[in-house]
C-alpha cells in the first residue's frame, strides 16, 4: 500500500461480515498493521446510536463503512421500515461523527438497489437519479442513496473527503445462506444441496426466471474498495461490478449443473422477480483507480459451493 497509509488508523464497520472479512485481508496484505484496524461489533457498539458512532470514529484516520442491515427480496418485503431506519441511522450519523472527529477519508458503500427500476443497461452512474428504485428494495436502496447526497454535500460545504461506491450483487465463500434473508446465489445453492440430501425431485424458485442479475465475486469487490480507498478522491459515485449479466433461469441451470442436482425447477410466479435487469457500466472504476473484476463466474460459483458444502459437513461432524 502507499506508504502514506502505513501509519493510518482505520475504522472498518462490518469488518467481521461477509464483504468486510475480505476487505480486512486486503488491508493487511497491503501493509496496514492489524493493530491499526478497528472493527466494531454490533453487540457492543450499536452504530444506530449517535454516541457509539462518535466512539467508533474517534482517533481514526480512514473510515470504510461496510455495515448494513441487508438481505434478499424476502427480507426487503418483510422488513422495509427496519431496513430504511437502520441503514439511514448508521450511515448518516457515522459520516457526521467522522467529520467531527477529523477523519481524513470516508469510504461509503452504497448498493445497486439505489438505481431506478428501469435503468437502461448497462447502468451508468449518471442514471442514478432518473427514476424510483424497484419497489421491493426501494427503502434499503434509498437509505443507502442518502449517503451519496451527504458525502457530496459534506465535500462541498466542509471540504470533507468522502467517496461513494456502488457494488453490484456479491457472492462468494462466507455468504449468508439463511433462507429467510439470503440473496439469490446462496439461496439456490442451499436449496439444491438440501434437495439432494432429501432426494427431492424438484426445487422451488421465486419469480419467473426472466430477470437478469450481475454478480461480483466478493474478493474482487474487496479489491475494488481498497483500490478506491488508496486512489479515488472525487465526488462522483463509482460502480463496482463485473460488467456482465445473466438471467436467473440460466443461473439456476448453472448452479444445479455444478451441484449435480438433476431434479426439476418449479417457478413460483406469484413471487416478485425484483428489478427486471441489472448490469453495470464499470468503465469509471477502471479509469479512476484501475479496478477490473478478475474472477471467472463459474470458478467463483465453484469456490462458493465448495465452501458451503465443507461448512455443512463440518457442522454435522462437530
User: Which residues are part of the catalytic machinery?
Assistant: 140
Residue 280, phi-psi category: left (phi > 0), alpha (psi -120 to 50), beta (remainder):
beta
Q: Is 15 annotated as a binding residue?
A: yes
Q: Annotation-wise, does 307 bind a ligand?
A: no
Specify the long-range contacts of residues 128-134, CB closer than 8 Å, at least 24 apart. 128/166, 128/237, 133/275, 134/274, 134/275
239 among annotated binding-site residues: no
Any binding-site annotation on 19? yes
What are the Cα distances from residue 268, in Å, to 203, 263, 265? 10, 16, 10
Annotated binding-site residue? 206: yes
Neighbouring C-beta atoms of residue 65, cutoff 10 Å? 23
Question: Is there a binding annotation on residue 61?
Answer: no
| Three-state secondary structure call for residue 164 | strand
Q: Is 68 annotated as contributing to ligand binding?
A: no
Question: Is residue 204 a known part of a binding site?
Answer: no
Tally of CB atoms within 10 A around 197? 9
Using CB atoms within 10 Å of the CB of residue 251, give its burial: 0 to 12 exposed, 13 to 18 middle, 19+ buried.
buried
16 annotated among ligand-binding-site residues: yes
Residue 38 annotated as binding?
no
191 is known to lie in a ligand binding site: yes
Is 313 annotated in some ligand binding site? no
Q: Tell me how far apart the alpha carbons of residues 172 and 149 are, in angstroms, rounded to a whole number.
A: 30
- Residue 181 marked as a ligand binder: no
Backbone angles phi, psi at 163, to 5 degrees: -120, 160
* CA 103 – CA 269 distance, rounded (Å): 48
Q: How far apart are CA 30 and CA 207, in angstroms?
A: 42
Binding residues for NADP(+): 14-20, 144, 167-170, 183
Binding residues: 14-20, 144, 167-170, 183, 191, 206, 213, 273
Binding residues for substrate: 191, 206, 213, 273
Amino acid at each position: 500500500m502507499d506508504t502514506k497509509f502505513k501509519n493510518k488508523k482505520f475504522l472498518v464497520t462490518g469488518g467481521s461480515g461477509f464483504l468486510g472479512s475480505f476487505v480486512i485481508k486486503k488491508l493487511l496484505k497491503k501493509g496496514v498493521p492489524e493493530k491499526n484496524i478497528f472493527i466494531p461489533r454490533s453487540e457492543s457498539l450499536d452504530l444506530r446510536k449517535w454516541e457509539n458512532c462518535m466512539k467508533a470514529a474517534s482517533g481514526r484516520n480512514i473510515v470504510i463503512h461496510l455495515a448494513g442491515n441487508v438481505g434478499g427480496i424476502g427480507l426487503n418485503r418483510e422488513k422495509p421500515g427496519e431496513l430504511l431506519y437502520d441503514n439511514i441511522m448508521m450511515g448518516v450519523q457515522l459520516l457526521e461523527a467522522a467529520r467531527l472527529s477529523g477523519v481524513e477519508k470516508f469510504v461509503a458503500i452504497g448498493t445497486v438497489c439505489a438505481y431506478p427500476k428501469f435503468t437502461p443497461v448497462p447502468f451508468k452512474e449518471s442514471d442514478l437519479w432518473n427514476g424510483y428504485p424497484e419497489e421491493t428494495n426501494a427503502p434499503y436502496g434509498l437509505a443507502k442513496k442518502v449517503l451519496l447526497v451527504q458525502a457530496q454535500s459534506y465535500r462541498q460545504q466542509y471540504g470533507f473527503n468522502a467517496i461513494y461506491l456502488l457494488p453490484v450483487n456479491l457472492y462468494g465463500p462466507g455468504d449468508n445462506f439463511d433462507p429467510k434473508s439470503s440473496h439469490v446465489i446462496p439461496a439456490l445453492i442451499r436449496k439444491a444441496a438440501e434437495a439432494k440430501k432429501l432426494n427431492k425431485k424438484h426445487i422451488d424458485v421465486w419469480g419467473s426466471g426472466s430477470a437478469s442479475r450481475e454478480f461480483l465475486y466478493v474478493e474482487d469487490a474487496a479489491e475494488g474498495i481498497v483500490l478506491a480507498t488508496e486512489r479515488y478522491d472525487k465526488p462522483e459515485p463509482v460502480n463496482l461490478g463485473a460488467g456482465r449479466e445473466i438471467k436467473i433461469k440460466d443461473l439456476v441451470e448453472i448452479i444445479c449443473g455444478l451441484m449435480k442436482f438433476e431434479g426439476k425447477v418449479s417457478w413460483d410466479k406469484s413471487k416478485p422477480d425484483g428489478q427486471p435487469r441489472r448490469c453495470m457500466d464499470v468503465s469509471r472504476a477502471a479509469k479512476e483507480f484501475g479496478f477490473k473484476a478478475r474472477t471467472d463466474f463459474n470458478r467463483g460459483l465453484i469456490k462458493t459451493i465448495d465452501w458451503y458444502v465443507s461448512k455443512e459437513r463440518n457442522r454435522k461432524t462437530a
